[in-house]
Amino acid sequence: SVPNSSEARRYKIAVIPGDGIGPETIGASLEILQALQETLGSFQIEYTHLDWSSDRYFAQGKYLPDDWMTVLKPHDAIFFGAVGHPKVPDHISLWELLLPIRQRFQQYANLRPTRIMRGVDSPLKNISPESLDWMLVRENTEGEYAGQGGRTHIGQPWEVGTELAIFTRQGIERIFRFAYQIAESRSKKHLTFVTKSNAQRSGMVLWDEVAWQIAAEFPHVKTEKMLVDAMTVRMVHKPESLDTIVATNLHADILSDLAAAIAGSIGIAPASSIDPTRQYPSTFESVHGSAPDIAGRGIANPIATMWAGVEMLRWLGEEVAADAWMKAIEDVCAEGVLTPDLGGKEDTRGVTDAIRAKVIK
């Protein structure tokens, strides 16, 4: 029986559709959230719709309003579409919108689950769907994204640009403790940490040392170290030998795109930027960007944003709704209702309608 609305659990979600295909995939996902709310009746969401995007930047000169922290803080989660516009350099749009939220809200863990869904073909012929089930944990606030560096002698032949990768003991400790808790909760109890400490002899060596110190706190988890270059080969050739993977901000960003491609398409890969302390709202988004080449054509794959929506519901504790949504996504893929990035002929509307039909059953 559907509980009456006064018994329903209530959440406040900030919605930032952003740029390009972001509004399309967020719009599709909100339709499913609405259908789940009405069907289950166990929760109600109050949305704050925010127009923080490149269009706002063109009109008002800023992606974020000055009081953006105050606006976002009271929410239980942030549901984010995509950022990136052909007329704005990517380093500006990213640093004006997404990165301040990750850094100021201490969303230091970025979770990127990867699985091959039934009905979806991996480009690698040696891979069966069961052989790949990874949880990629990306350090999300420091490393190569610390924002430290600069340029001098601009325009001169001897111009210099530096980009410092900052690693702190505290930052490494907290991402490893979080990654180990995840590894412990999974059946394989296996964690691979990724590094480049053969060539990078300061920050990456600190990363290794702290990793082994934290490993000693989790004796039930088997730990191994991989250099990032060798890791790309292993992901392709021995996917079944990996489970929980933890890597720096930049390394994990690159490895998770590879992971998504191996799983069939970046159009299905979700990312959760988590503040594990729950002091600040966490952000749920796709791995992919704004894809301006297909924006407005109605063919964007909504599954990455929808899967992020599933992870948002899990974070809120709405397991029943999360399971129903994920099963609907998996069933629709298995039935071959796929967008062109997965080799299908369906559009965003068709995939969304098919998923909606399953969650209201």
Q: How far is the CB of 213 from ligand GGG (least distance, A)?
A: 27
Beta bridge partners of 137: 111, 246
Q: How far is the CB of 317 from ligand GGG (least distance, A)?
A: 24
Coil vs helix vs strand at 72:
helix
Nearer to ligand GGG, 94 or 205 (CB): 94
Nearer to ligand GGG, 195 or 286 (CB): 286
Cα 179 to Cα 189: distance, rounded to the nearest angstrom: 11
84 binds ligand GGG (CB under 6 A): yes
Contacts of 263 (CB under 8 A, 6+ apart): 114, 115, 116, 117, 120, 122, 132, 269
Q: Which of 54, 107, 282, 286 binds ligand GGG (CB under 6 A)?
A: 286
Instruction: Tell me which stretch binds ligand GGG (CB under 6 A): 4-12, 31-39, 82-90, 111-119.
Output: 82-90
Nearer to ligand GGG, 94 or 124 (CB): 94
Q: Which residue is nearest to ligand GGG (CB)?
A: 82
CA 313 to chain centre: 14
Nearer to ligand GGG, 281 or 289 (CB): 289
Instruction: Tell me which stretch binds ligand GGG (CB under 6 A): 46-54, 60-68, 167-175, 286-294.
Output: 286-294
Contact track, ligand GGG, 289-328, x by CB under 6 A: xx--------------------------------------
Cα 165 to Cα 143: distance, rounded to the nearest angstrom: 4
Cα 156 to Cα 302: distance, rounded to the nearest angstrom: 46
Question: For residue 288, what are its two tokens?
Answer: 């992919």
Question: For residue 240, what are its two tokens?
Answer: 């079944």
124-132: list long-range contacts, CB under 8 Å, 24+ apart.
124/236, 124/239, 124/262, 126/237, 127/239, 127/262, 131/239, 131/240, 132/239, 132/240, 132/262, 132/263
Question: For residue 352, what are its two tokens?
Answer: 């969304």
What is the rounded end-to-end Cα distance, in angstroms, of the chain?
14
| Site size with ligand GGG, rule: CB under 6 A | 10
Nearer to ligand GGG, 94 or 206 (CB): 94
* Interactions with ligand GGG, residue window 238-267 (CB under 6 A): 253
Q: How far is the CB of 90 from ligand GGG (least distance, A)?
A: 6
Q: How far is the CB of 244 from ligand GGG (least distance, A)?
A: 20
Q: Which of 13, 77, 82, 312 binds ligand GGG (CB under 6 A)?
A: 82
CA 317 to chain centre: 18
94 binds ligand GGG (CB under 6 A): yes
Contacts of 125 (CB under 8 A, 6+ apart): none
The answer to whether the beta carbons of residues 262 and 209 sit under 8 Å apart is: no
**Sites of contact with ligand GGG (CB under 6 A):** 82-84, 94, 253, 285-286, 288-290
